[in-house]
């Protein structure tokens, strides 16, 4: 899923915060010019954060402003005069552990015990054992193997649960139909005109959910342009079988969504079946050259175009 704040931005802000905090310790000796610099810098960062949130329609739901400010406050008011740069470096290491490391693992459904992780980190860091590049590479390969096995097991579970959910919905609601590829869909509102070309750029409003009903993405009712050649196969297939103004619920199996890798940034596990409520608005009318300037949506993510998908059975 698109991250609101990049690691680079966080690192830049951490460095700036450290400087500001040290300057604040000598506030009595600061000149009016320095005070003005501090207030202007604060305004700049505040406006920068505000602008970044305004560019993501889901930010108001996903970001708790008070908690974000509490995190900033903790860093700004940290006692760096005693703890020095080591403390700030510790914060930076933790942030880099979370993004993308821990966040990516947990996005793939690998739930980590943070307490156990921290305890082992402390023991490892303070140990008197010798360390070498070969040892680190071996540990990294071992961890990678463990992650691959865990992801495979999670994928098998998700695949089984997704297939069960899809079949139950089709059996329970006779309004659902299935495509030859295995997507289940139900038309909520008929459209008018011709079906979209599977290489068109289509304006769509949508809500994406896990099979437990929790949302992972929402266009907030605003049309979002999708180049169908660059979306996951199931999303492309279902939209190419829709007409302008049509609204459907589509249950897309994991193999036609994000496959074995999932979409960790979007919180979508391997082979996870997804449920979309989709309304097509029409073919995108903007200048194609301007498309590159538009903010990308995290879901559906770009994917290589496979062979043409079979048409839905009407």
13-50 pLDDT, tens digit per residue, is 444 444 444 444 455 554 566 677 778 888 888 888 88
Give the residue ranges of the chain where pLDDT is below 50.
1-25, 30, 290-314
User: Per-domain residue ranges for the chain?
Assistant: 7-107, 160-293
For the question of whether the overall pTM of this predicted structure is more than 0.75, the answer is no
Name the nearest CA neighbour of 94 among 128, 125, 131.
Answer: 125
d(CA 269, CA 257): 10
Pair 227, 201: CB distance under 8 Å: yes
**Per-residue confidence (pLDDT) for residue 91, from 0 to 100:** 82
Residue spans of alpha helices (H) in 77-130: 80-96, 103-107, 114-126
**Per-residue confidence (pLDDT) for residue 250, from 0 to 100:** 97
d(CA 196, CA 178): 19
Residue 208: beta bridge partners? 217, 276
* Non-local CB neighbours of 243 within 8 Å, separated by 6+ positions: 190, 191, 192, 193, 194, 195, 196, 280
Pair 264, 104: CB distance under 8 Å: yes
Q: Is 307 left (phi over 0), alpha (psi -120 to 50) or beta?
A: beta
**Per-residue confidence (pLDDT) for residue 78, from 0 to 100:** 72
CA atoms within 13 A on the CB side of 111: 1
102 CB burial (10 A radius; 0-12, 13-18, 19+): middle
**Per-residue confidence (pLDDT) for residue 314, from 0 to 100:** 44
Multiple choice CATH, 160-293, 3.40.50.360, 3.10.50.40, 3.40.50.261, 2.40.37.10? 3.10.50.40
232 CB burial (10 A radius; 0-12, 13-18, 19+): buried
d(CA 232, CA 306): 9
**Per-residue confidence (pLDDT) for residue 202, from 0 to 100:** 93
**Per-residue confidence (pLDDT) for residue 111, from 0 to 100:** 82
**Per-residue confidence (pLDDT) for residue 309, from 0 to 100:** 44
6 CB burial (10 A radius; 0-12, 13-18, 19+): exposed
CA atoms within 13 A on the CB side of 3: 14
What single string gives the DSSP state of each residue in 212-227? TS-EEEE-TT--EEEE
Give me the phi and psi of 33, to 5 degrees please: -65, -45
Residues recorded for the chain: 314
CA atoms within 13 A on the CB side of 22: 12
**Per-residue confidence (pLDDT) for residue 137, from 0 to 100:** 92
Residue spans of alpha helices (H) in 186-263: 233-240
């Amino acid at each position: 899923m698109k991250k609101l704040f990049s690691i680079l931005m966080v690192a830049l802000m951490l460095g700036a915060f450290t400087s500001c905090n040290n300057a604040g310790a000598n506030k009595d000796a600061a000149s009016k010019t320095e005070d003005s610099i501090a207030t202007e810098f604060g305004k700049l960062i505040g406006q920068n954060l505000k602008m970044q949130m305004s560019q993501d329609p889901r930010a108001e739901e996903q970001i708790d402003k008070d908690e974000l400010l509490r995190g900033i406050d903790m860093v700004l008011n940290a006692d760096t005069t005693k703890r020095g740069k080591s403390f700030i470096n510790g914060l930076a290491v933790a942030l880099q552990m979370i993004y993308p490391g821990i966040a990516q693992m947990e996005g793939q459904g690998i739930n980590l015990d943070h307490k156990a992780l921290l305890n082992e980190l402390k023991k490892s860091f303070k140990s008197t054992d010798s360390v070498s590049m070969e040892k680190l590479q071996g540990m990294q390969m071992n961890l990678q193997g463990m992650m691959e096995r865990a992801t495979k097991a999670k994928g098998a579970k998700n695949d089984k649960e997704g297939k069960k959910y899809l079949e139950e919905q089709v059996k329970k609601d006779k309004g659902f139909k299935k495509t030859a590829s295995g997507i289940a869909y139900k038309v909520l509102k008929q459209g008018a005109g011709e079906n979209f070309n599977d290489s068109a750029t289509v304006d769509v409003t949508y809500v994406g959910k896990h099979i437990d009903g929790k949302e992972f993405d929402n266009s907030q009712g605003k049309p979002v342009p999708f180049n169908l050649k660059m979306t996951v196969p199931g999303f492309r297939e279902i939209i190419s079988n829709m007409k302008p103004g049509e609204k459907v619920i589509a249950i897309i199996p994991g193999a036609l969504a994000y496959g074995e890798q999932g979409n960790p940034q979007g919180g979508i596990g391997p082979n996870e079946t997804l449920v979309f409520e989709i309304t097509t608005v029409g073919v995108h009318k903007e200048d194609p050259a301007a498309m590159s300037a538009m903010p990308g949506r995290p879901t559906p993510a770009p994917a290589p175009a496979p062979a043409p998908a079979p048409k839905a059975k009407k």
